[in-house]
Structure 1
Amino acid sequence: MTQKNDAPVLAIALLLTLGLLGGGGWWLYRAFNLEVSPRDAATTVSSSPSASSSPASPLGSSNLPVLSQGEAILFPDGASVGKQQGVAAIASGDYSTAVSVLQASLQQTRNDPEALIYLNNAQIANQSAYTIAVVVPSPAAIDVAEELLRGVAHGQRDINLAGGIKGTPLRVAIATDNNDSEQARTIAQTLSDTPGIVGVIGHFSSDASLAAAEVYQAEDMVMISPTSTSVALAGAGDFIFRTVQSDRIAGDGLARHLLDSIGVTNVAVFHNSESAYSQSLKDAFSSAVLTGGGRVVSEIDLAAADFDAVQSVTQVIQQGAEALMLAANTSTRNQAVAVIQANQGQLALLGGDGLYNAGTLEQGQANAVDMVVGVAWHRDGVSAALFPKEAQSLWGGPVSWRTAMAYDAVQALIEAIRTTAQPADTLTAPMVQQALNNPNFAATGAAELVQFLPSGDRSLPPQLVMIAADPASQLGYTFVPVP
């Protein structure tokens, strides 16, 4: 695959993609407010990283830009006049005006990551630059998309303010896939065919990432997912990486906590049979429990048409369960919360990162206290880490683990590009891949070093958090790291 640093070609790729996708109207998004509100916990710990969301619209139904480095707005709802003017200026090549109006826009709406990425790009103007892309699940999951973009924008801003990668700035293209597997394949092919792009951050769900990974691997394009946890992704190829831990690591961590810290051996597992993420976590956890001498007394499908939370909890207690493991994804989160409520504190509770969100706190209340959840990152997990404070200062509020993992993906690509010592006009994705696959590779992340195993999985221990009462929290409950 030939690689050239030819930024204008991104605009051509945009037009080509529009021609492929066809059909009417902009996708809309809901503005994401990071300021403190009754839903503040949702800002920092919302939906599952590997949950498969139903697409908001078919692939061919929107005449919407799906790829932009600043010449088009991908999140138009609520876009300020300044942001619109900035994008128009970029499209016309008037970068000085774009910088001015985008800076003004960010003064009004500081938590707009799309605007910051376009500002960073406008400041590069026509200079030679390294180019990477990020794929987000808009419009199916707007809040998640912006969480991911915040991590990318933060990393891009930092490296460019520091003078770039050995003097060369970093340009970012934003793409959307609606969290849909077919759209993920289409945009993966578009990005792989776009000269100049040497790495892609994405995709969101495990289903989308697994679909896109087939294309990236075939086209020798680097992909780093910040959120896809399915164990199957480890076998997708040597161009495929992730900064989030795999379900195997999360499953092992939760199983060890069950057997060693809680001290029980019999567990019932609730899962979604239709979700790659949920199935992956279920299998990893169950395998670790069995290996450790425990027993899975029952597996309950949260997605079953006749699912009944009260009846299911009663059933597994009769079967000898001492704990409940909830491997729920976005679409079965409500059923999982119903299980928490039906349990009423009788059995110990464990959960996957699909329950690392405000809804669990708000709806579970006292019934959810002491529930242990396996997650990728918590802002208090590493006390010496500077990233949480820096991110809060930049965006005006606390950020989520998705933002942290996206930031780590940017740092990995930056370090890999630096390691190649290649100028932008000769750098290729295979060169970046070789750097990432080096056993000695390491990049400084939000809290921990970013290092990869030969499988492309991240070498990082699990982070467990638990739900605790917190009178100072607006919800009355919060997630805290397990000691």
Structure 2
Amino acid sequence: MALDLNPNHFSALFHLAEAYRKNQKFQEAIKLYERADKINPQRTKEGYIESLLGYGDHLIQKGLIEKNLSLVKKPYEMVLAIESNNTKALEKLKYLRAKEKPINIPTSHVKKSKQIPISLVMFIATLAVPILIGTGFFFGVKIQPVLDSEPDNEQQERERFSSGERTLFSNSYETKHNDNFLNCNQEFQSKNYSETANCFAALVKDYQNEPEPLIYQNNSRAYEFGNPLTLAVVVPADTESKIAKEILRGVAQAQNKFNQDRPSNSRLLEIVIVNDSNEPTISKKVAQEIVKNRRSILGVIGHNSSNASKAALEVYKAQRKAQKLAMISPTSTSTELKSDIFFRTVINNSMLSQKLAKYVKKLGIKKVVIFDNDQGSYSLSLKEYFDFHLNSKEIIKVDLKEQSFYLELAVKTAVESQIKAGMLFADVKTIHSAIKIATANYELPEKQKLKLLGGDSLYNCDTLNKGKQAIQGLILAVPWHKKLPTAKPFVDGAKSIWGGEVSWRTATSYDATKAFIYALSNSGNNPTRSKVLEKLKEVNLPANETSGQNLRFSPEGEREGEAFLVEVVESPNPACSDLDFRLVEE
């Protein structure tokens, strides 16, 4: 912060170096002490020396003596350049220099001992290991190499998919629920679909807010009727179970309505739930499994994070034209996601950031600090578009992946630099850092606090529960709100099914499923992947058939609509806390 404005700001250099040293980030501390030392060597001496000694010890512990002895010696040599009689540095260098001496190995064949470099000794020792293993058999000793057992990768991949064969949320259920679920799963595996539907129906009644049983109940009915229409929904079931269930509620609600409204003997809708853990490498693998081995799947709802969607999209769009699989993400807002097979039912980052920039300008704020994850697709595109729409030269950026102490220092330095607003552009992996920034800001005097704003990743109960009073007044740009007048029919329907209020992810996932249902219903008696993809481009659903807004896609697959601003305010909220998100009147 202050260093961006003045690279030689001693106080900022010194305090940041001290913070790194106390957290044993010695290499980072050394770089800052080097700069501070040129300004005030007396003040930095003690911490500088301690960081150099700590870094040298760290290199020794990493086993770098044999690999790069000169590198290990350097920190101690730098200490002696600052303080020539430093006992610790002298002792360590004495120890390290002893490692340079050759090893004397006497032999009976020569009068003088041969000096063999230690590197050669290590090389011979390396060769000796396989030789000893081989000769072990000769002496009657059978030496078995130890091999790490590898799990069956194919089995692991299969366990990420379920139509009812297994639960993907066993870690988030109580024991009794898991036991009952297992009984239903066994019935499904036995293909007793009538009994399976009844089994899952009992779970739906007992655990009203859980979406997985309702989806499997409908799947069982679809299999009982025969030849189901199949979609997949990809969620982070094991790593972000709350988010995953929010998405599944929207999918389940749309599936349930479709199957209930179908004439008898009609093909019903099956939803295959897929767990990708929000990890791009896994997202790519499950996408490959879907396109190659699960040909009955006619479309994909997902993935959740923009990074996961980006990885999977590469697989889906690489298929031949006849096999190209449509993908509708209800939650990924990064503008990096573009393809003729990609659609989304959520407002993208360009529109969200434009809404925020307009609000910041309305407040008359010109100097802002952006907290983002520069390695996240969502975070990066939100930052870039906000930068573009605000069009200000007084924007400073801070990486949310930094340590907590650095983020707290960044908030204080921003205030000292007369910055008035902080943009929390956190992705799913850095939300905890955004909460820490809000907490640090809350501890400042009232007149010094930054005005905090952010994107839809913070638009959830977890933010309210964890942020508490620190996030009161936070402004977010979001794609949907429960108090939109046109959203009432959907909200009322959701309450009757789930027993309470639902999130924006439930709304946009409902819309994604409704878009696919439209395409399936208009693709003839035997829909194909290519036909469904073609019909998605014709979707035009009125607000009373969606979560509250007209649903149609632009030629680029973007949802045509607008973003909304919400503010965190004190309000009774039975869904999560004493705070809630209120629509900002514009």
TM-score interval for Structure 1 and Structure 2 normalised by the shorter chain: 0.7 to 0.9
Match of 2:529 in 1: 429
Q: 2:358 aligns with which of 252, 256, 262?
A: 256
* Residue 67 (1) aligns with residue 195 (2): no
Aligned 1:57-206 pairs, distance under 5 A = 62=156, 65-77=159-171, 78=173, 79-124=177-222, 125-163=224-262, 167-193=266-292, 194-206=294-306
CA distance in 1, matches of 2:413, 2:430: 19
CA distance in 2, matches of 1:471, 1:122: 39
CA distance in 1, matches of 2:264, 2:492: 24
* Residue 222 (1) aligns with residue 222 (2): no
Where does structure 2 lack aligned partners over 5 or more consecutive residues? 1-149
Q: 2:520 aligns with which of 394, 400, 417?
A: 417
Instruction: Using structure 1 for the length normalisation, give the TM-score.
Output: 0.81
**How big is the shift at 1:363?**
4.7
User: SS of the residue aligned with 1:218?
Assistant: coil
**How big is the shift at 1:105?**
1.9
Match of 2:400 in 1: 302
Which residue type is aligned with residue 537 of structure 2? Answer: N
Which residue type is aligned with residue 413 of structure 1? Answer: F
CA 1:471–1:450 in 2, change beyond 3 Å: closer, same or farther?
closer
Match of 1:47 in 2: none
Which residue type is aligned with residue 170 of structure 2? Answer: P
**How big is the shift at 1:476?**
3.1
- Of 299-308 and 134-143, more deviation after overlay is shown by 299-308
User: Could you report, residue by residue, the CA deviation over 1:112-164 in whole angstroms, capped at 9, with x for unpaired residues?
Assistant: 21111111011121423211111111211122222211111111000111116
CA distance in 2, matches of 1:163, 1:471: 39
Match of 2:552 in 1: 451
Which residue type is aligned with residue 163 of structure 2? Answer: Q
**How big is the shift at 1:165?**
11
Structure 1 contact 297–321 (Cα < 8 Å) conserved: no
User: SS of the residue aligned with 2:488?
Assistant: coil
**How big is the shift at 1:209?**
0.4
User: Could you report, residue by residue, the CA deviation over 1:425-462 in whole angstroms, capped at 9, with x for unpaired residues?
Assistant: x3111111111123x64363211122111221211211
* RMSD (CA atoms): 2.4
CA 1:165–1:301 in 2, change beyond 3 Å: closer, same or farther?
farther
User: Could you report, residue by residue, the CA deviation over 1:404-432 in whole angstroms, capped at 9, with x for unpaired residues?
Assistant: 11111100001112222x11xx3111111
Match of 1:51 in 2: none
Per chain length, whose mean CA-contact separation is higher, i.e. which structure has more relative contact order (CA < 8 Å, sep 6+)? 1
User: SS of the residue aligned with 2:336?
Assistant: helix
Structure 1 contact 226–409 (Cα < 8 Å) conserved: yes
CA 1:244–1:334 in 2, change beyond 3 Å: closer, same or farther?
same
Give identity over the alignment, percent.
Answer: 33
Higher helix fraction: Structure 1 or Structure 2? Answer: 2
CA 1:209–1:165 in 2, change beyond 3 Å: closer, same or farther?
farther
CA distance in 2, matches of 1:303, 1:221: 35
CA distance in 1, matches of 2:486, 2:330: 22
Which residue type is aligned with residue 71 of structure 1? Answer: E
* Residue 395 (1) aligns with residue 489 (2): no
Match of 2:507 in 1: 404
User: SS of the residue aligned with 1:464?
Assistant: strand
Which residue type is aligned with residue 182 of structure 1? Answer: T
Match of 2:68 in 1: none
- Of 193-202 and 153-162, more deviation after overlay is shown by 193-202
Which residue type is aligned with residue 549 of structure 2? Answer: E
CA distance in 1, matches of 2:283, 2:236: 9
Where does structure 1 lack aligned partners over 5 or more consecutive residues? 1-21, 25-58
Give the greater-gyration-radius structure (CA). 2
**How big is the shift at 1:369?**
2.5
User: SS of the residue aligned with 2:317?
Assistant: helix
CA 1:259–1:169 in 2, change beyond 3 Å: closer, same or farther?
same
CA distance in 1, matches of 2:554, 2:244: 27
